[in-house]
Amino acid sequence: MYTSTLRALIDELGRLPGVGPKSAQRMAFHLLRVPTEDALRLSDAIVAVKERTSFCTRCFNVAEGGGLCPICADDRRDPSLTCVVEDPRDIVAVERTGQFKGRYHVLQGALNPLEGVGPEQLRVKELLQRVEEEGTKEVILCTNPNLEGEATAMYLAKLLAPLNVRVTRLASGLPVGGDLEYADELTLGRALEGRRELDR
Ligand SMILES: [Zn+2]
171-185 pLDDT, tens digit each: 776 766 677 877 788
Distance between Cα 30 and ligand 1 center (Å): 37
Residues linked to residue 99 through DSSP beta bridges, in sequence order: none
Kindly state the DSSP code that residue 54 receives in the 8-state scheme.
E
Contact 189, 99 (CB under 8 A): yes
Distance between Cα 196 and ligand 1 center (Å): 25
pLDDT exceeds 80 at position 141: yes
Distance between Cα 197 and ligand 1 center (Å): 25
Distance between Cα 106 and ligand 1 center (Å): 8
pLDDT at residue 187, as a whole number:
82
pLDDT exceeds 90 at position 32: yes
Distance between Cα 150 and ligand 1 center (Å): 23
Kindly report, residue by residue over 37-67, the tens digit of the pLDDT.
999 999 999 999 999 999 999 999 999 988 9
Distance between Cα 26 and ligand 1 center (Å): 38
Kindly report, residue by residue over 76-85, the tens digit of the pLDDT.
999 999 999 9
Distance between Cα 105 and ligand 1 center (Å): 7
Distance between Cα 35 and ligand 1 center (Å): 38
Distances (CA, A) of 129 to 58, 125, 163: 10, 6, 11
